[in-house]
Amino acid sequence: TDRTHRLPNSSSTRKLGAPLKNVEQEAFVADLVKRRFEQGCPASFEEVITGCRVSFNDVVKYPEFQKNLKDDKFLRVWLRRVLKRLDYSERVGTISQKVLSIGLPLPDRLLSAFDNSPSTSM
């Protein structure tokens, strides 16, 4: 069966959405980015772009992905969207995990953890 995008608030009578595209390429990016990050040597955006170009350059085997490879801007937008779905982002030349931003309200589970922690007063 085709993997599909889930629509928010959809009922059993609604369609789930279009089939996912470039699943194999997205898995390649996920593996490369996560493996390199866990090894302590984060991949750069350009390394991932080059890896995609080298690994999926076969026109016969990957005809759908050729549109991405032909247009540099298209490939970069696709990669940024993949990174966003993986909760990674490009920072200062390397790809790393997203972190909580200062100024955003903390989730309730974190607030309750702070409330239950022993105070360290001097």
Domain assignment present for residue 65? The answer is yes
Does the residue 73 lie in any domain? Answer: yes
Angle between helices 23-38 and 45-55 (to 10 degrees): 140
Q: With H, G, I as helix, E, B as strand and everything else as coil, classify residue 105.
A: coil
Name the domain count of the chain: 1
pLDDT digits (tens, 9 = 90+) for 31-49: 999 999 889 898 999 999 9
Question: What per-residue confidence (pLDDT) applies to 108?
Answer: 61
Query: Which 8-state DSSP code applies to residue 122?
Result: -
What whole-number percentage of the chain has pLDDT above 90? 40
Considering the chain, what is the average pLDDT of its residues?
Answer: 77
Q: Is residue 40 within 8 Å of residue 80, measured between CB atoms?
A: no
Helix (H, G, I), strand (E, B) or coil at 96: strand
> Which residues of the chain are under the pLDDT cut of 50?
1-2, 121-122
Q: Which amino acid is at 25?
A: Q
pTM of the shown model: 0.65
Is residue 105 situated within a structural domain?
no
Element (H, E) at 83: helix 72-85
